[in-house]
Structure 1
Amino acid sequence: MKTINVRMVVNVAAALEADTLAGLLYMIDDNRLGGSRNQATAELATAVAPGDRIIWTILPIECETHAAVRALELPAEICEVRRETYRESDVTYWVGSVKQPVGDLPYRLTLELGSRTRTLDKGANPRLIDPALEDSALSTRARS
């Protein structure tokens, strides 16, 4: 069991102008050695196992703009997620508890961006993967 941190950095002004997160959302986790891949993209594949805890946080590139995760949708029977708030603040983050193997499981991420709280979910395609998926891909390449 481990805690995996997923950090999201978003270019809020450009995402609002383009009406997409594609190329403007950068997701990174601290489990690359555990099998995560597609670091620094909106296609992050985070390797997790049953019992792992995931913490998602977001940071806008421009310090004057607002960015928050409005929704994070995963099947509750596989990974239960809940929204938390840092004590004595209005800054939120999301916590997930992995209950069973995830296979290759896409999840929906909805961000609240800008002063008008506009919600964007286009252009983000993150997913959770089993560490074994990466292990089998590596061993297949090694045999070739």
Structure 2
Amino acid sequence: MTIPKTINVRMVVDVCGALEADTLAGYLYMIDDNRLGGSRNEATAELATAVTSGDRIIWTLLPIECETHAAVRAIELPAETCKVERNTYRDSDVSYWVGLVKQPVGNLPYGLTLELGSRTHTVDNGANPRLIEATLQMPPGPTQTGSS
């Protein structure tokens, strides 16, 4: 039996580049803190976050250009698999998203829509994140040398 945990997904976006190209491909970098659990494709827009039932996922967004507006408009996952909701930090308008994994996910792509720039242009193409089943990865051990 695995103990549910909180997995943080950080998204860094080059707002100006994404707006100019009208795509997130090459302008969105996603990482999470569950590499030992099996997450893959770190620092890409194709992040595969490893989760198990009961896990909580927190998505946050950081624009590279600090004076440019960027926000997550939507994270689309089937509610029966992962219930997702938008929250706001107390006394601010800065939001984050929280998901509760309710059942095994297999290999589940999800939709991600970002609101970018002063005209709140939404961009939902070029990002292909997904949730995958967690598998415990053993950290590399010391190199064994010598003979017995």
Same fold (TM over 0.5): yes
Q: Which has the larger radius of gyration?
A: 2
Which residue does 1:126 correspond to in 2? 129
CA shift for structure 1 position 131 = 1.3
Q: Tell me, in whole angstroms, the C-alpha distance in 2 between the residues paired with 1:25 and 1:13.
A: 11
**Cα shift readout 1:37-91 (whole Å, capped 9, x = no counterpart):** 0000000000000000000000000111011000000000000000000000000
Structure 1, unaligned stretches of length 5 or more?
Answer: 136-144
Tell me the equivalent position of 2:145: none
Change (3 A) 1:133 1:106: farther
The structure richer in helix per residue is 1
Which of 20, 23, 30 is matched with 2:23 structurally?
Answer: 20
Cα distance in 2 between the residues matched to 1:107 and 1:6: 13
Identity %: 80
With normalisation by structure 2, the TM-score equals 0.89
Q: Is it true that 1:39 corresponds to 2:42 in the alignment?
A: yes
CA RMSD of aligned residues (A): 1.4
Q: Given the two structures, how large is their TM-score scaled by the length of structure 1? A: 0.91
Shift of 1:133: 9.8
Moved over 6 A (4+): none
Check conservation: 1:37, 1:46, Cα contact below 8 A.
yes
What are structure 2's unaligned runs of at least 5 residues?
Answer: 139-148
Q: How many residues align?
A: 135
Instruction: Give, in whole Å, the separation in 1 of the partners of 2:21 and 2:71.
Output: 18
